[in-house]
Structure 1
Amino acid sequence: MQTTSKVLMVKPARFAFNPQTGGNNAFSRPGRESSAQENALREFTSYVALLRANKIDVVIAEDTPHPHTPDSIFPNNWFSTHEDGTLVLYPMSAPNRRNERKPEVLEVIRKNFEVRRLIDLTWWENDNLFLEGTGSMVLDRDNKIVYACKSYRTSEQVLADFCKQISYTPIFFEAYDRNGVAVYHTNVLMSLGTAYCIICTESIRPEDRERVLASITGSGRKILEISFDQLESFAGNMLELSRPSGRPVLVMSATARKSLTTEQSRELSAHYKLLSPQLDYIETHGGGSARCMLAEIF
């Protein structure tokens, strides 16, 4: 099952620009600390309301003020759930992001997902090797393929460990932004749904492109190309969700939606109901967008 209608979101307690991740996330910038939590909470609350109004089952876990976890609003980086009851915990590069694995949040996960098997990869942090969940990886759940681009936050060694334990085939490649800097998370440049793959092909290293695209088209998906400009507007950071009835939804931020061409919007709207929460503040100061805020519950 590629998609779900149930997601977990973490309500922030002390949202802020994270200096520990800002160094290798080209999307995040410092802001006024005094209003950061208020602004982020407003966008978070509106986002939850939009999803619920469209029949998405949203489970909310509340962050705690201590220890301070400024990026807690992006839970998809540190855990993932799988249809067979597997819960995976991932190694995080920033020490303060490791603190997001709080007992309170783990308890909410366990109440809403029957954990039959736990894969704990966090020990890789001792070797300074990381794999940041469905930020580092874009999963083709139906075909058991994982796409991952190499970066400081995405280790090929940890990816191999994940794939071995969960029986996935890795498609590991290199991708760079327009300035030649490695793309820090794979879900910035591509989104994989049931029928479409939205992807910034020009960001992928030329010698890797054919292999990546052949795997995607081989799974029967149609490729929708996005440009560097659109990547920088978070158009790669989308997530398809199913609903109990009606068309599936495709979630993207208002910034991402504005970046789409008329033809792209028309094509996606024919297949999905498009949901576009306003996430300007979270995008600017947290460096993540709509997909990063959603941890799927299968």
Structure 2
Amino acid sequence: MITTSPTDFLEAYAALAPLPEAAATARAAFLVAPAEFALAEESARDNRYMDMNLTVNPLKALAQHGALAQALRADVPVITFPGNPATPDAVFPNNVFATAPGRLIVGRMRHPVRQREAERSDIRAFFGEVLGYDEIDLSGCDGLVAELTGSLIIDRARGVGYCGLSERCDMAGAQAMHKAFDLRLTYCFELAETEYHTNVVLTLLASRAVIIAADGFRDPAAAQAIAHAYGDRAIWLTPAQKQAFAGNAITLSDDRVWMSACAAAALTDEQREALSGYGFAIGAVGLGEIEKAGGSLRCCVGEIY
């Protein structure tokens, strides 16, 4: 079922029992290292978190990325694929490649500079030939845009998707992802005009709580409905905290949420206490150089289910 109604979503959600064998968090993660890291003008057209006037230090970005991979290994095995100088801002693989059990999904990116990332044969071969995953390739599908887990936040324990519609994902893309991820329910809503991806305004914490920025949604009722689905176990972000990427976080285990050092520093003591009450410690990694490209920690992490 795909719905755009908050009322219909809550009714359908209430009728869903958790999937008995579904894991709420990934069993491993993969990253793509920066190579000659630079900002892409195409991406900046609809990513308001980017500032093309900033200069970047490629070596610092590489060092921060390596520290991220090392930190995440505390929770799951981490694989880092080498970067490609032909795609110098390709450090956000979760928009292009994503998995469900036994399946690799390849997204349909909006901008040509990102579409080139989907052509990587080594990543496809790793999942297909090494892990034996079936491949669902949306990258060549005309008439849709589907930037995977940038646009679609998934409750893996319930098979529920939260899809923010924007320039980076249209309704046709949402329908294709609903099928590719074999979801039981997808709630589609429009993001605010200034937003490009759902994963900067919404984080799902191991299928039991959320971090959410209400101003990232065109209709505040959509944000309220999502929070209500999780028993109002929600960390509500201010616009400044959202801008610091506090909404771009990820859980790779049942007891820790990872975010950038900038994001973690933006949280209040009350928000930290709430996360602790929900059962989550905070893991933080400095990613200031990478964040100049308009994404943060969650964007860097591809999940392997």
- How would you bin the TM-score normalised by the shorter chain? 0.7 to 0.9
1:196 aligns with 2:209: yes
Query: Counterpart amino acid of 1:174?
Result: E
What are structure 2's unaligned runs of at least 5 residues?
1-22
Q: Is 1:293 aligned to 2:300, yes or no? A: yes
The answer (yes or no) to whether the contact 2:96–2:148 under 8 Å persists in 1 is yes
Check the 8 A contact 1:7/1:57 in 2, yes or no.
yes
Aligned partners of 2:269 and 2:226: how far apart in 1?
Answer: 28
Tell me what 2:80 maps to.
60
SS where residue 205 of structure 1 aligns? coil
Structure 1 Cα separation of the partners of residues 26 and 179 of structure 2: 24
- Counterpart of 2:185? 169
Structure-2 residue corresponding to 1:143: 158
1:185-234: CA deviation from partner (whole Å, max 9, x where unpaired): 0001000022211101233233xx33553355335561221111111110
CA distance in 1, matches of 2:129, 2:259: 28
Matched, 1:81 2:66: no
1:18 is matched with which residue?
40
1:226 aligns with 2:237: yes
SS in 1 for 2:262: helix
Alignment partner, residue 11 of structure 2: none
Cα-to-partner distance string for 1:236-276 (whole Å, 9 max, x where unaligned): 1000111xxxx622100011111101110122134222111
Instruction: Report the CA distance shift for 1:18/1:118 in structure 2 as closer, same or farther (over 3 A).
Output: same
CA shift for structure 1 position 55: 3.8
Give the secondary structure class of the aligned counterpart of 2:78.
strand
Identify if the C-alpha distance between structure 1 residues 109 and 61 changes in structure 2 by more than 3 Å, giving closer, same or farther: farther
Following the alignment from structure 2 to structure 1, what is the Cα–Cα distance between the partners of residues 129 and 267? 38
Question: Aligned-pair RMSD on alpha carbons?
Answer: 2.0
Kept in 2, the 8 Å contact 1:189–1:231? The answer is yes
Change (3 A) 1:6 1:112: farther
Aligned length: 279
Aligned residue identity for 2:60: N
1:271-290 maps to which residues of 2 (within 5 A)? Answer: 271-284=279-292, 286-290=293-297
TM-score norm. by structure 1 comes to 0.87
The 4+ residue runs of structure 1 with deviation greater than 6 A are none
The AA in structure 1 aligned to 2:123 is: V
Confirm whether residue 40 of structure 1 aligns to residue 61 of structure 2: yes
Are residue 183 (structure 1) and residue 195 (structure 2) matched? yes
Quote the offset at 1:30 in angstroms. Answer: 2.6
SS of corresponding position for 1:235: coil
CA contact (8 A) 2:151 2:198 kept: yes
What is the one-letter code of the residue matched to 1:138? I
Give the superposition deviation at 1:123: 2.3
Residues 156-185 of structure 1 show CA distances to partners (whole Å, capped at 9, x for unaligned) of: 111112213424422111222xxxx33100
